[in-house]
Structure 1
Amino acid sequence: MATTTTNPSNDDTQSSLDVVLQLLSSLTLSHDDAQSIIDVITDQIQAAALPAVQPAPTVVVPVVAPPTPTVQAATLPAVQPAPAAVVPVMAPPTVIVQAATCPAVQPAPAVEPPAVIVQAAALPAVVNHPTPTARSGFYGFPHLPLTEVVVNGETRGQQHYRGFAFDVPRAAALGPFYLITRGSRVGVFETWQRTSPYVLGVSCSSFSRCKSLYDGLIRMLDAIDLGEAQWLP
């Protein structure tokens, strides 16, 4: 007698599918919607009918610890200390220093310094300028020679000092007075009108106003002493 074995899972699947089809037939659905629902249910039922996949058994691999190497301590030969070397200490030789015989130092003979003869420089003689006085109608120094000269129809007094001639004003002159040390005429003159013709237009002329007639005559002698007085063409 043959025995027929029926898979319970297939029967259940078919029964569930029939129930679903009956429910869908009672609903108002489009053909596409109904087909989509049937496909989804069929896929779910087939997936449930597959046998369960058993997980693979876990393989336990025993971990074997590596053997610990045993290091045998090498037996080293005992180090013998080096024999102590005895170094004899030599005494340093005695150094005998002979004192050098130095010749006797003879003292240097005394040198007499040469006699220095200082000659006194000849100083110029100091000239005392005496007070000018009026002589022969002209104002000048009484110790100096006085002559008369005619200049442009006018008689003028002229004195001489160290070979240099210079004009002096009249005794009645009131001033102001001017000293000309470089000009066409040289000396002391009264008023600018009598002075200007001898310096204006004369190249390298030199003149100045005097504080007084006495001041002008003293400065005239100083200019002659210094070589600053000069007659110009």
Structure 2
Amino acid sequence: MTRIPIIGISGSPIRNSNTDRMVLKVLEASGLPFEFVKLSRLNVRPCIACLGCKDDNQCKVKDDFPPLAEKLKGAAAVVVGGYAPYGSLDAFTKAFLERLFSLRHQNGLNRGKLAVAVVTGIGRGAPGLDESAGQLTHALRLEGMEVLETLKIVGNPECMVCGYGETCSMSAIPWIFGQDARITPDKFRRVEDQSSVWERTHKVGKEIRKRLRSERGMGRGGNESPRGMPDFRG
């Protein structure tokens, strides 16, 4: 299997979401060969705590995680994006993080990888964004990864697009924007318009490239880095 230097993971089930675009922008800014994985298109169950991985770091659950784990083993950097429904990290991303235990146990196969955490939430004073960003960052650090950046995006609640946001008694619209608020185009948020976090995306992508190129030269014979990176000049 050809090793990919950097892998992006998105837990957002929304097509071309803010989370997707942010993860992809970090990957593209690195200038390295990459692969983008959308978890909602895979079958990755939560960890079932069977401990089948304890001797060989091979998850025994027969779903889409084992092939993904093989790609992760060969990567030197990972960008993980999630979102914050119900004030907590989403289930797709959480299940993926739980399954990383199969790589963590005994040998710490993710130890030393570079990582970037990306989280989208309602923001605007609503709970969930900061908490979920902390959850994701902490989980990656527990794997022994070096988290270079945690990028937080202000997104759009489902109530803005469901068709009932202005009339539903459970709508988040009054809570976020005030009583009698209307859903208007100016209330929608795009990550590209959030200049501060968008600029940091470019910087951290370039930092990944710089770090991996530098460490590649430290490996034996100059062909591999301490993270097992292949020589990907050009």
Same fold (TM over 0.5): no
TM-score of the aligned structures, taking structure 1 as reference length: 0.19
Structure scoring higher RCO (CA < 8 A, sep ≥ 6) equals 2
Larger Rg: 1
- Structure with greater proportional helix content: 2
